[in-house]
Chains A and B, each alone.
Chain A
Amino acid sequence: MVKFAEDRRYLETHEWAKLEGDGIVVVGISDHAQEALGDVVFVELPELGIELEAKSEVGVVESVKAASDIYSPVSGVICAINEQLEESPEIVNDSPYDQGWFFKIRASDIEELASLLPAEKYREICEE
């Protein structure tokens, strides 16, 4: 069964965003996304310190099937990347909501999170 974690918000492009406290937002891709992509074999992550706008392209996830752009759910500065994905991109398949996070961003406007999709809305979009 595909899971839709309730404790975070989503983009229509299948990224999730979770507030970690102190204005830090963790970003990854949804269980639905990893399931649709199949085995993830490469993740291109942003560089630390890069500043970006909400919904701008920030990286790429490549699976056995396709390359897919990753968009940032919020505006801010990249403050951490998941270096484990470099050697073991399959973590994205095994643990999309936890170990398989992509990057963390210091949000410039935390209110942006509220404008993203709650789990229930995102599930509806996926099931359409």
Chain B
Amino acid sequence: MGKKTRLYELHKEAGAKMGNFAGWEMPISYDSQIEEHLQVRKRAGVFDVSHMTIIEIFGRASQSLLSKLLANDITRLRTPGKALYSAMLDFSGHVLDDLIVYYLARDNYLLVVNCANREKDLAWFQQHIGDGDCTLNERQDLSILAIQGPDSLTKASGVLAAPYRRTLEKLVNFQGLWCGEWFIARTGYTGEKGLEIMLPPEAAIELWKKLVSHGVQPIGLGARDTLRLEAGMNLYGNDMDETVTPYESNMASTVVMEERSFIGSGALRINQGSRKLVGLIMKGKGILRPHYPVFCDDMMIGKITSGVFSPTLGKSIALARINKTYGSFSVEIRGKKKQVALVRPPFVRNGKPVWKAW
């Protein structure tokens, strides 16, 4: 049996199919995964993402630590609560993890990292703190709910107590702030408007129940995967890992090299890697899945890293890492080559198709 979030019993009561996700027993779907996906695109849904790892960083050396560890430029954050998406690289410029960091003050940051990388990340941070004035505090005591979809903010406002609602109303997109024991943020992993709330488990259970009774549907990690892939967002372990650079992971815009030096920047100055992470759309029927080989004419040029049926587009979409971006592309499915179009992700944003030809 895997680890369980504090909302586990609620998921079981709701009839969720549970599955293992990085050692956690998580709800994969409650009923139809496609219905859950469309609910988030059209209205609002709530996810239990308490498996994710929350780390607070305190101390005068916090900013210099994050400047050294993150490929994105932490010093750009000056408004309290503003968030930054970044890769964390090893010395060869390969991706150790991707994360969200919230700037709270120059000596205080909040990070959310992948639970699959928890031990690795904590050890990496600790190793690079050295004797600097900087402490880490993992918040295993908090649950995390993500409320996502075009109606998410109005639905959430309708059930939140006044202080939390006022905090929410203050936030702009990609910003998060503490309100008492709760951290409320306008962030997400679906390509829709939405928020993520970190809060004590008892409060999370209560908020979950309130949201559900106000018509916010519970959404499993199955739909979370199709939503993030439509939104062109990477999943660590699928779309990037310690064998690829951020430039090979469609993350170039999150790497700031000018007049900066961070772990991995030296390696990237010499070699950014030659492959590209691209979007694929299936032209006919069939489903693209991870590890299927991608061909340009008769030459194998790479593999699919994530592939799903896209409920919004009604056909299969994928991310693939390939070493050639012109020609005629196909994917081999059970021994047969099926034609695909090469596109630039995202595929879908705010409920609408937005992909462009490569």
Contacts and interface: CB of A to CB of B under 8 A. Distances in A.
B285 A39 contact: no
Interface string A25-52: 0000000000000110110100000000
Contacts, number: 37
Interface residues of A, number: 13
B245 interface: no
Interface in B21-70: 29, 32-34
Interface in A78-101: 86, 90, 93
Interface stretch (A2-10, A57-65, A105-113, A120-128): A57-65
Given A64-B226, A64-B309, A42 B285 contact: yes
Q: Interface size bucket, B side?
A: 10 to 19
B32 A39 contact: yes
Nearest to B222: A64
A45 to B, nearest CB: 11
A39 B286 contact: no
A60 B338 CA distance: 15
B289 interface: yes
A38 B287 contact: no
B33 A67 contact: no
Nearest to B32: A39
Contact of A62 (B17, B29, B34, B286): B286
Interface string B278-293: 0000000111010000
Interface string B308-321: 11000000100000
B222 A42 contact: no
B34 A67 contact: no
Contacts of A93: 32
Interface in B177-230: 222, 226
A90 B33 CA distance: 12
A80 to B, nearest CB: 20
